[in-house]
Amino acid sequence: MRNGSVQHRSFYKVLVANRGEIALRVMRSARQLGLGVVGVYSEADRDALHVKQADQAVRIGEALPVQSYLNIPAIIAAARASGADAVHPGYGFLAENEDFAQACKDASLVFIGPSPQAIEAMGNKAGAKEIMKKAGVPVVPGYQGADQSDDVMLAEAKKIGFPVMIKAVAGGGGRGMRLVTEAASFPDSLRSARSEAKAAFGDPTVILERAIQNPRHIEIQVFGDSHGNAIHLGERDCSVQRRHQKLIEEAPSPAVTPELRAKMGEVAVAAVKALRYEGAGTLEFLLDQSGEFYFMEMNTRLQVEHPVTEAITGLDLVELQLRVARGEALPVKQQDIRFSGHAIEVRLCSEDAAQDFMPQSGRMARWQVPDGIRVEHALQSGSEIPPFYDSMIAKVISRGASREEARGRLIVGLEQLTALGVTTNQAFLMSCLRHPGFAKGEATTAFIGAHRDALLAPRADAAFDTALAGLLLYVASPRAPSWRSGRSLSATFPLPAKIEVAGQTHELEVTRERDGSYTVATDGRPDKFEIDHLDADAIRFRHDGVMDSAKFLRDGDRLYLQHRGIPLAVIDLTLAAPKAATSNGGDGKVRAAMNGRVVAVLVKPGDRVTAGQPVLTLEAMKMEHLHKAGIDGVVTAIDVAEGEQVTTGRVVAVIGADQKTG
């Protein structure tokens, strides 16, 4: 039988069983308490910042980077080798794994988190809902049965009524979760959810829930200690999501009144006490439009979005975790907690919002964070963004006396942040924050879906950005004369160029005028620029009487440009050979849309397929992505195998055009 108690004792060195920004975040608070810190890493992370900044670091894997951080024996061995006497799991990976918590205890290591028993009880969504129902907490109606057969699951979904949610019984973060609107698409969604859950958590079991339309996603931060104390630290609103994953979080919620906060907090604290829970945890609820709330799940760990709670309470949540793990009583009582101001966090992700949030990997050529705003990250210029992990690469957090002040500061912070070399959702985040619906505090979980076109709309001055890109390609070209201020005695003539911006090709001409200015004619539109100053990575210029500036990076035929916070990737096609025309598989070749791992091949050579039919599934950054046939025809070749790692653009399947005649 699993030992349910938490092991308490003093510890002096903490091994952080995680990577990236959360590893650095934990190390920071541990050091403030005078503790030593140990990092672990897969071979893919050998040069990562969390490795460089740890007092010691131990390699725990080589071939499969994700599996390295899931290797319990290797992590326990790393703690022994480094002399660590406590382990902090961060979030993700093994943070909610009761076997890991028990293994730490068996190895006489203090696990900085709740007991294995509590993790086991609340880590299973089906079991957690039953516990909450018995405690009188309202839960979302659904099916949590042991019979997982396809026929039973479909029958139960029909009983619940569409739309329904399929959810992995283990884990979180949107993995293994699918919204199904009709019975016909249920079997494929069920298969995909199970596959993703198995890959992410090692358990393909799922539950079904009624899909509550346009709810708010509200979570309550809780803490318990070994002395019987339990508190809540208010709510966070995590409604702005894509792919069922949080993108923007804030505290307090614009939709939660003091009365509702007290009610939800009372329910959450009662649950903590009933479980005799120790450490940090979060109870997640759906809040419908009538003000009713329903329990979804409990996360038995620190949350990604914990900084917004820290910002409005003044508490260090990681420090509280460490103190509770040492057996100390919580230093604050419920009546001592004060909420001050408003905080908003955005998740900066390496993904292309315009391409259905497709994960992106590669080299972050230039990375600079602004002063005066909190940025949690583990990046530096030249960092590699690998395809193996979650796409979140940083968190940007602002605080203000009011929600509007916090929103304004966050927009300015994102404008000043520089991330060049890998496509990110930086511009999309600013678009969300500026949207009138978000500004008014009206965003629900349907926000991105309802406003997607407006959020992804090109900027009104996109033509100007193209002209600026043309100017920079000219003045930053090694073939161009060095820029000097003042008039020129040289003869002027237009230099033709061809560039690609956001998938669109533009013809342009750049002319250095005798007065020292530049004229850029883009698709027939002239723009005049005067350069005040030009560095290797920044330009200050005047256009239409306005002095402005931009950051840039020239890398071969690529130009990365950031103007007013909006990053652009520009390709210089002037000297490029014409590309063969292909159209999303219209030539019969199915190409990998990203670097990733093949998790399922859904057809075989000889199969007849129709356009739009799923052919295989790739997993990248812990999310699955279906690849579909571009034409009707017969599969003539499958060029990959399940488990194989592929690169962007690789041909993974070939379909011969259908030659049937009527």
Task: Evaluate whether 337 touches 330 at the Cβ level (below 8 Å).
Answer: no
The catalytic site residues sit at: 301
Q: Rounded to whole angstroms, how far apart are CA atoms 572 and 324? A: 56
Q: For the chain, first and last CA: distance in Å?
A: 68
Q: Rounded to whole angstroms, how far apart are CA atoms 283 and 277? A: 12
The pLDDT assigned to 66 comes to 78
Spell out a b/e string for 501-530, using b for 16 or more CB atoms within 10 Å of the CB, else e.
beeeebebbbbbeeeebbbbbbeeeebebb
Residue with tokens 């962007």: 648
> Mean pLDDT, consecutive 10-residue segments, the chain of 662 residues?
69 97 98 98 92 97 81 97 97 93 97 94 79 81 89 93 89 79 92 85 87 92 96 98 93 97 93 92 92 90 97 98 97 96 98 90 93 96 89 97 98 96 95 97 95 89 88 78 64 80 87 88 88 92 93 88 90 73 66 83 90 85 79 89 83 81 40
Q: For domain 217-456, is the CATH number 3.40.50.450? A: no
* SS (HEC) of 37-82: EEEEEEHHHCCCHHHHHCCEEEEEECCCHHHHCCCHHHHHHHHHHH
Which residues have a Cβ under 8 Å from the Cβ of 653 and sit 6 or more positions away?
589, 590, 603, 615, 616, 627, 629, 635, 637, 638, 639, 640
The pLDDT assigned to 478 comes to 65
Q: Do strands 110-111 and 86-88 pair parallel, antiparallel, or not at all (unpaired)?
A: parallel
Closest of 595, 609, 599, 610 to residue 648, by C-alpha:
595
Task: Evaluate whether 627 touches 615 at the Cβ level (below 8 Å).
Answer: yes
CATH number listed for the domain at residues 13-112: 3.40.50.20
Tokens of 284: 């997640």
Residue with tokens 């539950």: 207
Q: Rounded to whole angstroms, how far apart are CA atoms 369 and 394? A: 10
Q: For domain 141-210, is the CATH number 3.30.1490.20? A: yes
Angle between helix 98-106 and 116-123 (nearest 10): 170
Tokens of 330: 């919580």
The pLDDT assigned to 582 comes to 43
* pTM summary value: 0.85
CATH number listed for the domain at residues 462-572: 3.30.700.30
Q: Is the dihedral of CA 373, 376, 381, 384 positive or negative?
A: negative
DSSP H or E segment with residue 566? strand 566-572
**CATH topology for 589-657?**
OB fold (Dihydrolipoamide Acetyltransferase, E2P) (2.40.50)
Q: Do strands 633-638 and 608-609 pair parallel, antiparallel, or not at all (unpaired)?
A: antiparallel
**Residue 455 main-chain phi, psi, to 5 deg:** -70, -30
Task: Evaluate whether 22 touches 11 at the Cβ level (below 8 Å).
Answer: no
The pLDDT assigned to 622 comes to 64
Closest of 76, 70, 79, 105 to residue 278, by C-alpha:
105
DSSP code at position 617: E
Q: Give the start-to-end residue ranges of the domains of the chain.
A: 13-112, 141-210, 217-456, 462-572, 589-657
The pLDDT assigned to 74 comes to 96
Q: How remote is the C-alpha of 585 from its chain's centroid?
A: 28
Which residues have a Cβ under 8 Å from the Cβ of 222 and sit 6 or more positions away?
230, 231, 232, 233, 268, 269, 271, 272, 277, 280, 281, 282, 283
DSSP code at position 132: H
